Every structure is written in structure tokens, then in C-alpha cells.
Amino acid sequence: MTKIDKLKIELERAKKKSSEWQARVRDIEKQITDCENTEILQTVRSIAASPEELRGLLDMLRASKEPPQAGLDNNNN
């Protein structure tokens, strides 16, 4: 067996390991997302508020994170 043949075999092994690790990464990422979603649901369910009140609260949070619209203050001057 030549050195090239040995390297090709090693390359195939490395590719197989790489795809196994990539699958593992995807699985762990999915588990993390599932845990985060469960935590969010538990938090939301623990709040004693109607769906409309929760929606309003989320809308206020979303609005506070939006960047101010450029040009609104400058046009009045």
C-alpha cells in the first residue's frame, strides 16, 4: 500500500468523523433550542395575565428595542 493510498484512507475516516460531529452539533443545537423554548413557555405561563395583556407587553418591549427613525427630529428644526 502506497503513502497516497494510506492518506486517502485517512481522509475518508476524517470525513466520516466530521459528518458524525456535524450531526452531533445539529442535535445539540436542537436540544438547546428546545430547552430555551420550554423555559420561555414556562415563564409566560407563570404570568397571570390575559393573552391580550401579554401581547401588549411584548409589543412595548419590541418597540423599545427598535432604533429611532432617522430624520423625524431633524425635519422639525
- The pLDDT tens digits of the residues spanning 19-44 come to 999 999 999 999 999 999 999 999 88
- Residues 63 and 61: their CA atoms lie apart, in Å, by 5
Confidence of residue 77 (pLDDT cuts 50, 70, 90): very low
Gap between the terminal Cα atoms of the chain:
82
pLDDT at 44: 82
What percent of the chain clears pLDDT 70, i.e. is strictly above it?
A: 87
Neighbours of 65 (CB within 10 A): 7
Determine the pLDDT at residue 2: 96
What is the pTM (predicted TM-score) of this model?
0.60
